[in-house]
């Protein structure tokens, strides 16, 4: 496929690896923020091919992993006890809530459906006017325009049976939260390419200045990741701290103005709780008052007790790059993708799942 195959070229990968090995003189710790990048690094075997001086730690960029347990409990409650059609990306289904996952709710008879797009959920609401349709709107900035569009489509169509359960998080405050943790030792970041496709690169300049670190906006294919790493290591070796954009074929400095406009119209920035990490100020999107009728939180006014996490899960430390998945005593023993203690073991972007499936240890 064009724009995919050529960025997986073994020849180019070898050339980039050789150049990285040639220029690196001392150890560097670099965090890739996005879970999609984590999986690409692990799945393509790049972690084993990098020069030993380049140490990758994996970031919090897995929206499924950081969705609070309380929201999963709410989704389960809506599906099981309130009779809604609960639609979700497939990733969310196995994530453990305090009582059960959405998959277990489905096994008990709840109408839980996996959809590829929130726009499909709006179509479902059109086709089934007698049923309430709720979309579990999980995601980073990349997914926010699609979820916002679904609200606008439903609004324009005059639908009264569609709403979203929003769990939207933002990357820049998460980078700040990681850097503010004293246990974290990170010297540079690969920023998430698709998030920047939407938001542009401007938000990252203040982080470069505040924390005096290089940030390189990077894509997802092996050649993208290695080029992003080469740009990063060149900066580190030269003592530079700049914002660079490796993924310029889809990331413009200003981002996507149309997408930013629909996000602005539907959502507003608010404080957000991140599963495993805690509250991060101004780190998420909530539905604006104007669209309250499309906000499942307000519409169903769910009151359920707030649950606590499984104490044996160290997801917070994994998500901040303080520990690697296999450094957890439960990894692969009491915690597996079939029976997870925490979300990073089940999400297709979770670091624990990547290490488990591709046997990194």
Partner 1 sequence: MCLAIPGKINSIEHQHNGMVRMAKIQFGSIVKEASLEMVPQAQIGDYVLVHVGVAISVVDEAEAQKSFEYLSMIGEIDELIEHTQV
Stretch touching partner 1 by CB under 8 A, among 99-107, 223-231, 316-324, 337-345: 223-231
Q: Tell me how far, at minimum, the Cβ of 34 lies from partner 1, in Å.
A: 6
Nearer to partner 1, 62 or 78 (CB): 62
Site string for partner 1, 248-287 (x = CB under 8 A): xxxxx---x-xx--x-------------------------
Choose the stretch contacting partner 1; rule: CB under 8 A; options: 78-86, 103-111, 112-120, 338-346: 112-120
Of 52-60, 77-85, 146-154, 311-319, which part binds partner 1 (CB under 8 A)? 146-154
* Range 330-359, binding partner 1 (CB under 8 A): 347-349
For partner 1, which residue of 78, 79, 84, 91 counts as binding (CB under 8 A)? Answer: 91
What burial class does residue 332 get, using C-beta atoms within 10 Å of its C-beta: 0-12 exposed, 13-18 middle, 19+ buried?
Answer: middle
Count of residues engaged in binding partner 1, rule: CB under 8 A? 59
User: What's the CA gap between 178 and 189, in Å, rounded?
Assistant: 11
Using the contact rule CB under 8 A, the part of the chain among 44-52, 195-203, 283-291, 316-324 near partner 1 is 195-203
Provide the H-helix boundaries in the chain. Answer: 10-23, 35-43, 46-49, 63-66, 69-81, 102-107, 118-127, 144-156, 171-180, 193-199, 205-211, 222-238, 257-266, 296-300, 315-319, 351-357
Distance from C-alpha of 151 to C-alpha of 166, rounded to nearest angstrom: 11
Is 118 a binder of partner 1 (CB under 8 A)? Answer: yes
Contacts of 105 (CB under 8 A, 6+ apart): 76, 79, 80, 86, 112
Among 56-64, 305-313, 335-343, 353-361, the segment contacting partner 1 (CB under 8 A): 56-64
Cα atoms in the Cβ-side hemisphere of radius 13 Å centred on 276: 29
Q: In whole angstroms, how far apart are CA 176 and each of 78, 148, 189, 231, 359?
A: 34, 26, 11, 22, 31
- Nearest to residue 32, comparing CAs of 6, 57, 67? 57
Q: Which member of 29, 98, 117, 270 binds partner 1 (CB under 8 A)?
A: 117
- Could you give the CA distance from residue 190 to residue 312 in angstroms, rounded to a whole number? 30
Query: By CB under 8 A, is residue 240 in contact with partner 1?
Result: no
Site residues (CB under 8 A) for partner 1? 1-4, 6-7, 12, 15-16, 19, 34-36, 61-64, 89, 91, 116-120, 138-140, 142-143, 145-146, 149, 153, 156-157, 192, 194-195, 197-198, 220, 223-224, 227, 230, 234, 246, 248-252, 256, 258-259, 262, 347-349
């Amino acid at each position: 496929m064009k724009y995919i195959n050529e960025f997986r070229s073994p020849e180019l990968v070898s050339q980039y690896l050789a150049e990285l090995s040639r220029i690196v003189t001392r150890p560097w710790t670099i965090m890739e923020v996005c879970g999609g990048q984590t999986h690409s690094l692990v799945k393509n075997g790049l972690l084993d091919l990098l020069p030993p001086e380049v140490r990758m730690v994996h970031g919090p960029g897995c929206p499924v992993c950081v969705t609070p347990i309380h929201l999963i409990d709410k989704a389960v409650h809506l599906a099981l006890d309130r009779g809604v059609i609960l639609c979700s990306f497939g990733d969310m289904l196995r994530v453990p809530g305090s009582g059960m996952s959405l998959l277990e709710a489905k096994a008990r008879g709840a109408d839980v459906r996996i959809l590829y797009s929130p726009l499909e959920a709006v179509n479902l609401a059109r086709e089934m006017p007698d049923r309430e349709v709720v979309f579990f709107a999980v995601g980073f900035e990349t997914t926010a325009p699609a979820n916002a569009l679904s609200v606008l489509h439903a609004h324009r169509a005059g639908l009264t049976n569609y709403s979203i359960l929003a769990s939207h998080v933002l990357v820049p405050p998460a980078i700040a939260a990681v850097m503010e943790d004293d246990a974290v030792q990170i010297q540079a970041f690969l920023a998430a390419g698709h998030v920047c496709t939407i938001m542009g690169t401007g938000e990252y300049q203040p982080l470069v200045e505040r924390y005096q670190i290089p940030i390189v906006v990077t894509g997802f294919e092996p050649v993208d990741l290695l080029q992003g790493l080469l740009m990063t290591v060149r900066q580190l070796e030269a003592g530079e701290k700049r914002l660079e954009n490796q993924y310029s074929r889809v990331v413009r400095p200003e981002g996507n103005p149309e997408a930013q406009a629909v996000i602005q119209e539907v959502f507003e920035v608010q404080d957000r709780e991140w599963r495993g990490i805690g509250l991060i100020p101004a780190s998420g999107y909530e539905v604006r008052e104007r669209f309250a009728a499309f906000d499942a939180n307000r519409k169903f006014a769910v009151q359920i007790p707030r649950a606590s996490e499984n104490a044996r899960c160290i997801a917070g430390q994994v998500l901040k790059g303080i520990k690697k998945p296999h450094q957890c005593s439960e990894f692969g023993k009491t915690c597996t993708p079939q029976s997870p203690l925490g979300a990073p073991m089940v999400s297709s972007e979770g670091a624990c799942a990547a290490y488990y499936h591709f046997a990194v240890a």
